Structure 1
Amino acid sequence: MIKQFAVCQLLVLSFGVKAQSIDVTTFGAKPDSFADATESVQKAIDSGKNKAESVIEFPKGRYDFWPDKAVATTYYISNSSSAEEMPVKRQSVGLMFKGLKNITLDGNGSTFVFHGKMIAWALDSSENITIKNLKVNYERPGMSEMTIKEITSESVTASIHPDSKFKIIEGRLEWYGERWVTKNHHAVLLRVNKDMLVYSSWSPFLKSKAELIAPLTVRFNGDFSKFQAEPGDVLTIRDTYRDYVGSFQNRSKNIRLLNVHMNSMHGLGIVSQFCENLNYDSVFVEPEKGSGRVIASSADGMHFSGCRGQITINNCRFNGMHDDPVNVHGTHLKIIEIVSPTSLKLRFMHPQSYGFLPFVPGDTVAYVHSASLQIFGQEIVRSAKMISEHDVLVELQKPLADNVSVGDVLENITWTPALTIKNSRFERTNTRGTLVTTRRKVLIENNVYYRTGMHAILIENDASGWYESGEVTDVTIRNNQFIECGFNSAPGNYIININPQDHEPARGYYVHKNITIENNLFKIYDFPILFARSTNGLRFLDNTIEKSEFLPADKLRAAFSFAACTNVKISGNKFYSGAKTDIKLDKMEKKDIFSKITPVN
């Protein structure tokens, strides 16, 4: 009886615990002062270290962050920059959460303005962290933007956005920011009348002579005969180097982002690396409303590398990116040496992904033949250590199987997440909408994919290019709207593309399994809808396909194309009158597919 009473008392006390409020102004931060709040805010964050639970409160206003007093640290971040592009990975972090627990950062509608190049926040070895009710922007965004006013074959007149700082030096326009200059130009054009982002070029402008003819108005004289644009279009220009990311989450768990507006980000966006249980609700990667800007991220919106647990993306919006809004994947590492019966030397193969420890003791790894992507075994890691920036020495608990060879790859299958993406909108990207390769359950539902430049959804897996792993085994794509996607990837502009890079397929082996695409709306201007290869168990059911006049259709191609697949079912779909519903099969027999549409070879 006494023991039961003690337990009840403990429960009462537990439910009665209230998070301690920490006001950043008590540490010296002042809203709307334009003063550097970095040091004061960091002190407020650090003060929560030994508290059971705390809330970092920001009275609503503008807070400015400069790199001078920011935490400087070194991070190797997946898919960011190569050793040649950025040999020293030294970055400044505006808000650093290092080894912290049970903290909520509440911006109360504030705007955080960062100066120079900074990672807005980093969560490192932390857990139970919530960031909510804030906007992130940069005093000088990394993206430069200008609106085309007049264009001929010999000149272009453009209006420069006020945020895009520039200087004309000896007849050449140079883009610059706070302690940085754009040196390696990449350009994407927004065709305003079609609301579509297409690839473009800064090259003719580099070769032209620029002159300022009015405030923020520049005339470029040169050869523009091959430059495709119309008055009103917006040309967006950035550096190709991904030397920073918008925010970084590393080896952390139970992370929640709520009502967060990422209005501008340098580089790769919100990156999570070896994190567990991520819940993003009402995260908006888009330019600030009324700013006149069209791009929010120089690359991806959200990037997840080697995560696990549950990733949930709900009520989010992605508008204005130079790369994919969402990418979820692991990493294949190549075996370059069999050191002993239980030890392997592995190498990061893509130049922009390296330097981070890909395994810890107890992780399970899968052996994969790189050419076929065939998984042929698995083992548990005893130890792992970096022996150089690109090489890893891993020791396994048991001796290697006889068929393990140099050139095969390993994937960490302990760190593979379940993924739910729902009630979100993807638009104004020149690339794909969503990339996903994870063996856990994937649900993509009730979203709108609007005029993504390439495939709305790409399921790949490769051990030859980006080395982004791995297989999918349970994917449901339902109740989404796919509207006029794929204009940058013709002729293979399938709305959904299941395309593992198994260059030498293994007989009878299928890379991907159990993919259901049902009750979606496809509004298409061209013919291709779905491509799949090396997939066992693919269902395309009860979808509606409508015709759009958004752009002229390209030459006639099959609506469905399948290569080396089996157990394919196409049934119950509603096509617009006169729709071309051809199915193309490659390395398949008719018994591999059930459909009332007659396949053609």
Structure 2
Amino acid sequence: MQDQKDSIGIEPPIQIFRVTDYGALPDTGEDSTSAIQAAIDAASAANGPTVVEFPPGQYDLYPTNAVKSAYYISNTASEKEHPDPTKTIGLRLKGAHRIHIEGNGSRLLFHGKMTPIVMDGCNEVEIRNLTIDFARPTISEMRITATGASHWDVEVHSDSAYRLQDGKLYWVGEGWSHRGGPAQEYDPVSNRTWRVPNPIMLANQVEQLGPGKLRLRFNSAPHTSVGHVFQMRDGIRDQVGALIVGCRNIIWRNVWMQYMHGLGIVGQFSENLNFERLRLAPDPSSGRTAAAFADFVHLSGIKGKISIVDSVFEGAHDDAINVHGTHLRIEGVEEGSRIRVRFMHPQSYGFNAFHPGDEIDFISARSLTSYATCSVVGIKPLSLREVELTLDSPVPDTIEDGDVIENVTWTPELSVSGNVFKRIPTRGILATTRRKVTIENNVFDNLHMSAILIADDAESWFESGMVRDVLIRGNRFIDCGNRQAPVLLIRPENTHVSADLPVHRNVIISGNRFELNGAPLLEAKSTSGLIVADNDILRNGCRDGVSDDSHEIIRLRACSGVEIVGNTIEDHAAVIVKTNLMKDEHLVIDKGQAAFIRRVDENDI
């Protein structure tokens, strides 16, 4: 392109735009929002590669002078929950090309409810060496100092402002307040979090004992332990930690997100996203235990390659990484080559999910398998929920009620390697993409639910789609999951279940170390070409103290082409593989692993 080299092919010099030259005032507490945005806008308008530079320091950003712009974002808030899609944006890069945001270790401190960064329609942009935090995180925290039969004594974190009114506790922040909402309990000894009923709503009375010290009175106090921390929030995803939309070739390197309000870093209909050495965790010196209001990284409708490497994910309120597409339900056929489709999940709607030339698959809602493929030649939005698509060929005549379409063009390759996952109340990685997925050399430590989930559905979250090439290799899984949530879970939500009609294919689980504490190692459904090989398996008993000697480690339903070979069972106990809707030829087991098969009929599942 002309802006990359001059007329004789010489790379133009890099231009540097320092935010302090535009009026940003580090280490003063003054509002630097407008000045930072002015530097970004100037760099975006310049011809050639540019750097927006933050001289080291702390920069405060407030909502008052921030850019306000409407963005519809997948998996955030429904029309009923929060009808206004306006985002209050700290740093907006719109149409930027060949820009580096150089933080030099600076800290951006946000106030109120804000979306710290939006990258909209950008190409070749890198953000590096930056820390982001909030002055008043929208998750409030309190630590248990004493318990009784009908009361708790708690110490509220100094960052969690509150007020008492008529014996009730209200959390207050910069422009917001609430009482109810989701809550989590954190055990600092095990470094484990899990979801619980909100204790503020259970309490009959809240009394002030001293500055930051409260007594919660109950009819019967919920069970907890001294030292545990409760984390509470309002549950409305009205902002996000960052938005990358309509972008290409984006790099985030050495960025520390100490807190994110709403959903986390969201990528939507973008191409080639690279995340290196992220730290998504609270600052240990802050004493806070939560760093994200929901997911850490949520990537929907991406193409090209996603790379997430050498990063730390610790202290979320939902999944660490979720990569998926969106199934839209077929609502009607308009003439021979036009269809009307609809966003179905309340929290996903309004965004542009199709482009001319995109390839789409028609997916059976019952089997979650594809039965036809077309290309999009025209898009006509009918509302924020419905879209009419004109296709390059006639609509198949085999459509059934509930069937959906998936945009195949916007499905990515995914590589997640060298990361650490801790203090996650749900899952570590959710991956549903038909292109190559590699999850290797990660540590999953004490995740409350499955470390890895491969789902796919057309009736709940409407998150697509099928997987075709997954390698889970060289990871360490430490005490993850529970009896209902296996460490590795392959659970498509198909209702037509048969080993002859797999949803997922070619999943290899090899060379991992599983340290089990009562949870099954694997549950898989409707998967063909599943290989579990050369893994080290150690069973540490059960977290609830009940022996798991007779508990199945692998559960298989309607799977085929399964091989369980070469694994090492360190406690030499029998491994039970429970099967259903499978024939003998569907499963090969190396008997030297001390494994045997216990077959059950469908009613026993």
- 1:193-592, aligned counterparts within 5 Å? 193-203=189-199, 205-225=201-221, 227-487=222-482, 490=483, 492-505=484-497, 508-526=500-518, 528-548=520-540, 551=543, 552-553=545-546, 556-592=550-586
Deviates more, 1:62-71 or 1:382-391: 382-391
Deviates more, 1:265-274 or 1:392-401: 392-401
- Secondary structure class of the residue paired with 1:501: coil
Deviates more, 1:543-552 or 1:159-168: 543-552
Which of 59, 62, 66 aligns to 2:62? It is 66
CA distance in 1, matches of 2:104, 2:389: 46
Which of 30, 33, 47 aligns to 2:28? It is 33
Q: Which residue of 1 aligns with 2:602?
A: none
Which residue identity does 2:597 align to in structure 1? P
- Secondary structure class of the residue paired with 1:47: helix
Which digits, 9 at most, give the CA deviation of each residue in 1:248-289, with x for residues without a partner? 111111110000000001111000000100000011110012
Displacement over 3 Å in runs of 4+: 7-11, 203-207, 553-556
Alignment coverage as a number of residue pairs: 588
Shift of residue 206, structure 1, vs aligned partner? 4.6
CA distance in 1, matches of 2:155, 2:134: 21
Which digits, 9 at most, give the CA deviation of each residue in 1:493-519, with x for residues without a partner? 211001111112367221001010000
Which residue identity does 1:234 align to in structure 2? V
> What percentage of aligned pairs have identical amino acids?
37
- The 8 Å contact of residues 484 and 550 in structure 1, kept in 2 or not, is answered as no
CA distance in 1, matches of 2:547, 2:234: 33
Shift of residue 193, structure 1, vs aligned partner? 2.3
- 1:45-124, aligned counterparts within 5 Å? 45-50=40-45, 51-124=47-120
CA distance in 2, matches of 1:339, 1:320: 48
- The 8 Å contact of residues 339 and 388 in structure 2, kept in 1 or not, is answered as yes
- The 8 Å contact of residues 374 and 506 in structure 1, kept in 2 or not, is answered as no
Shift of residue 210, structure 1, vs aligned partner? 1.1
CA distance in 1, matches of 2:182, 2:547: 27
Q: Which residue of 2 aligns with 1:4?
A: none
CA distance in 2, matches of 1:163, 1:8: 52
- Secondary structure class of the residue paired with 2:277: strand
- Secondary structure class of the residue paired with 1:246: strand
Which residue identity does 1:81 align to in structure 2? A
- Secondary structure class of the residue paired with 1:97: strand
Q: Could you tell me which runs of 5 or more consecutive residues in structure 2 were left unpaired when the two chains were aligned.
A: 600-605
Q: Could you tell me which runs of 5 or more consecutive residues in structure 1 were left unpaired when the two chains were aligned.
A: 1-6
Residue 232 and residue 527 in structure 1: after superposition, are their counterparts in 2 closer, same or farther (change >3 A)? closer
Q: TM-score, normalised by structure 1?
A: 0.96
Q: Which residue of 2 aligns with 1:137?
A: 133
Q: Which residue of 2 aligns with 1:152?
A: 148
- 1:166-181, aligned counterparts within 5 Å? 166-181=162-177
Shift of residue 203, structure 1, vs aligned partner? 4.6
Which residue identity does 1:463 align to in structure 2? A
- Secondary structure class of the residue paired with 2:284: coil
Q: Which residue of 1 aligns with 2:603?
A: none
CA distance in 2, matches of 1:238, 1:527: 29
CA distance in 1, matches of 2:571, 2:564: 18
Shift of residue 8, structure 1, vs aligned partner? 13
- Secondary structure class of the residue paired with 2:39: helix
- The 8 Å contact of residues 246 and 266 in structure 1, kept in 2 or not, is answered as yes
Which residue identity does 2:518 align to in structure 1? D
Residue 234 and residue 454 in structure 1: after superposition, are their counterparts in 2 closer, same or farther (change >3 A)? same
Residue 208 and residue 554 in structure 1: after superposition, are their counterparts in 2 closer, same or farther (change >3 A)? farther
Which of 580, 590, 593 aligns to 2:587? It is 593
CA distance in 2, matches of 1:8, 1:111: 36
Shift of residue 88, structure 1, vs aligned partner? 1.2
Which residue identity does 1:372 align to in structure 2? S
CA distance in 2, matches of 1:221, 1:181: 22
- Secondary structure class of the residue paired with 2:34: helix
CA distance in 1, matches of 2:185, 2:372: 47
Q: TM-score, normalised by structure 2?
A: 0.95
Shift of residue 10, structure 1, vs aligned partner? 4.0
CA distance in 2, matches of 1:221, 1:507: 54
- The 8 Å contact of residues 156 and 224 in structure 1, kept in 2 or not, is answered as no
- The 8 Å contact of residues 88 and 239 in structure 2, kept in 1 or not, is answered as no
Which digits, 9 at most, give the CA deviation of each residue in 1:155-187, with x for residues without a partner? 110000000010111111100110011244111
- The 8 Å contact of residues 337 and 406 in structure 1, kept in 2 or not, is answered as no
- The 8 Å contact of residues 204 and 222 in structure 1, kept in 2 or not, is answered as no
Residue 425 and residue 269 in structure 1: after superposition, are their counterparts in 2 closer, same or farther (change >3 A)? same
Which digits, 9 at most, give the CA deviation of each residue in 1:279-332, with x for residues without a partner? 000111100121100000011000000001000000110000110000000000
CA-based RMSD: 1.6
Which digits, 9 at most, give the CA deviation of each residue in 1:132-171, with x for residues without a partner? 1011000100100000011112111000000001011111
